Structure 1
Amino acid sequence: MSRPSVWAPKIVALIKGGNSSAAIAQIKVAPTVKDLQDLRKLLIAANLLKPHPNVDAATNDMIAELSAPRLHRSP
């Protein structure tokens, strides 16, 4: 049985605390697409996407990057 990830709530706490630049840095090294989707759900529920358009763009960009097939595979 897998444990729920605590990554998304921590990022929401960074944004609520006013440190959106640190949140964006964490979004850029997000563990999985599922974590990013969970983060977006929490941000939508807390109405934090509209006041932070840069966070909105970063989450969308990283979801697209992590969802895309890899161009190079390691041997």
Structure 2
Amino acid sequence: MARPSDWAPKVLTIIKSGNSAAAIAQIKVAPSVKDVKALRLLMASANMIAKHPDIDRCTLDAIDNLSGPRLHRSPPGR
């Protein structure tokens, strides 16, 4: 059985420290949709979504990007 990811609590700690740029960088390379959704739940429970609209927008973008189909082909000409 897989160990639960501790990514979301770590990113929440970065957000609480006030380093939004580092938090956004971590969100952009999030491991999975599940982890980003877990971060959103933690932020909602701490009433932080309204305080950090840029991070809120970034999490929504990350969910969209991770949910989209993957291109498994190489670019033309290779």
The answer to whether the superposition gives a TM-score over 0.5 is yes
Report percent identity of matched pairs: 55
Residues paired across the two proteins, number: 74
Q: Does 1:73 pair with 2:72? A: yes
Q: Considering only CA atoms, is the larger Rg found in Structure 1 or Structure 2?
A: 2
Dislocated runs of 4+, deviation >6 Å: none
Q: Distance in 2 between matches of 1:51 and 1:29?
A: 22
Q: Distance in 2 between matches of 1:56 and 1:36?
A: 10
Q: Deviations over 1:8-43 (max 9, x none)?
A: 000000011111110000000000010001000000
Q: Please tell me the root mean square deviation across aligned C-alpha atoms, in Å.
A: 1.0
Unaligned stretches of 5+ residues in structure 1? none
- Corresponding residue of 2:16: 16
Unaligned stretches of 5+ residues in structure 2? none
Deviation of 1:2 after TM superposition, in Å, equals 1.2
